[in-house]
Structures are given as C-alpha cells and as structure tokens.
Amino acid sequence: MKYYIVDVFTDKVFSGNPAGVCLLDEWLPDETLQNIGMENNLSETAFLVKRDGYYDLRWYTPEIEVDLCGHATMGSAYVLFEFVETTASVLRFQTMSGMLSVEKKDSMLWMDLPSRPPVPVARYETISKAMDLEQYEMLKSADLLVVLDNEQDVLQVKPDFGLLTKVKEESGIEDDNFCVVITAPGQDCDFVSRVFAPNCGIDEDPVTGRAHCVLTPYWSKRLGKKSMTARQLSKRGGRLWCEDAGERVIIGGNAVLYLRGEISTYRQLSVTQYVKTPLPSSHSDS
C-alpha cells in the first residue's frame, strides 16, 4: 500500500498538521483501516479508492472514523496532484459529508467544504471547569465553539482533557465525532483558534480544516467580511485563507511532502488475525 505523510497548512516540514494518506485499490476491512490509523498515530489518516471521475475518501483518527477532515483532504489532494493526477487542476472526493473538491491554483490548494454555521447556546459547566474560563461566548454546530476576547486568552488556555471529554453528555452530542474550538480576533490575521478533540483520541489538533467550516461563517458574520485569513495557535502552527460562500466554505492553504513509503498489510486479513511466529532460540539447551 502506497503511503505518504503530508504537512498541511504550511510551506515547510515540521509545522502545520501532518496527514497520513493511503492509496488503496479497494477497501480493506474497517478494522484494518482503524488499526492503520492507530499505528500511524496522526490526527487523521486518509484512505482513498479511485472511482470513475472521483475518489472515495475516508478519514480515521487513532481511535475512530470521522465524518469530515479538512487537512487530510488537502493532504490527499496534494499527493494525487503530485504523484497520480499530475495534469489535473481539480479533484473530487465522495465522503461521509458529501462531495468535496480541491482545486490547485496559484501554487495553493483550495478546498470546497460544507459550511456549518454555529448557533448560540448557554455556557456548559464542563467547558468552564475544564478550561478555567468565566467569560466567553458559547455556540454549537457539528462542533462546539468557544469565543474569547483576544489572542492571548486563546494561547493561555490549558485544558483538563479528561474533564473536557465529559462535555459530550452535557451538550447532548450523540457520539465522539466532534471538536471543541476556541477562537478570538487575531493580531496579524482576522481570527485565531485552537482545537481540542479528546473524545476522538486527539488532545490538541495542530491545524484543523473542519473547524473552519464553523469558524468561517461565524467570523464572516461578525466581521462583515467574506474573505479572511486565520491562524491556528498550536505548537506546530498553521495559516489558512477562508471564504464564506453561503452554504459552502472555501479554505486555502499550502502543503509539503514529509514522507513517501509503503505499508505492508494483507487485504484478506485484519490485523488481529495475523499469525505470530515464535522467534528462534538464541542458545542451545545443554
């Protein structure tokens, strides 16, 4: 299986968000896909199967399959543009969130993703305690959005991740497929953010495309702007260009290849079915 790691929302390695990209001939068992995601231990590993005019695309964290992942979609497109579909300018992906596309234009990649506008809700006690916050605006969409006053407030948050997982019950979210996003106005961009997803097996995600499906409509309405720039303030950091296109958001960024290799696996067997062969004895019995 051909395997790549691409650093996304950056133009240099060791920054942005690393995405694993696996090119398949046909689907492996779900258990095998999940085990590969766990073994890779990246925020997301993308799996692709080519169809007629598009690719089927699925994303796995180390613990679960998710319904939308922006950076691994952009990473997948980067791999295809560079190594497979070298004459293409637009790629289409069938996913759990419908048909997505990525366009290669002006040395950047531009994703077309669904818009997920958040609506105001009452503050969650779990959020207040897990992040040690008193004053903030709370909104909810597919993900939870916490709006703070300034960039420094975002940088200073130190979540209790064990406690933060319990917001699932308080918010009424049905499964673990969600993020908690904190955001504020930016100093050298329109807005900044950080993203936490401990229920998915990711304490802090470095740079998160799906979060900007929520952030873009929120900040577009608040700032009265359609086109905006954003930074995610993780340790690795990343920069995004965002456009509110009504029912869709357009998210742009750069990507760079870190690794290209092979994963050894077998289509017929799940990882748990492999037969272990005893190691030879290192000495003779006397």
Is residue 209 a contact partner of residue 73, using CB atoms and an 8 Å limit? yes
Is residue 232 a contact partner of residue 135, using CB atoms and an 8 Å limit? no
The tokens for 49 are: 């199967």
Q: Is 258 left (phi over 0), alpha (psi -120 to 50) or beta?
A: alpha
Is residue 78 a contact partner of residue 50, using CB atoms and an 8 Å limit? no
The phi and psi torsions of 53 (rounded to 5 degrees) equal: 90, 0
Is 103 labeled as catalytic in the residue annotation? no
Look at residues 222, 171, 221 and name the one whose alpha carbon lies nearest to residue 199.
171
Rounded Cα distance between 248 and 55, Å, is 20
Q: Give the CA-trace dihedral at 186, 191, 192, 198, to 10 degrees.
A: 150
The tokens for 27 are: 């689907």
Residues 6+ away with beta carbon under 8 Å from 206: 16, 17, 18, 43, 232, 234, 235, 236, 237, 238
Catalytic residue among 31, 39, 44, 125: 44
Is residue 145 a contact partner of residue 139, using CB atoms and an 8 Å limit? yes
The tokens for 41 are: 């231990």
Is residue 138 a contact partner of residue 124, using CB atoms and an 8 Å limit? yes
Is residue 48 a contact partner of residue 62, using CB atoms and an 8 Å limit? no
Q: Which residues are catalytic?
A: 44
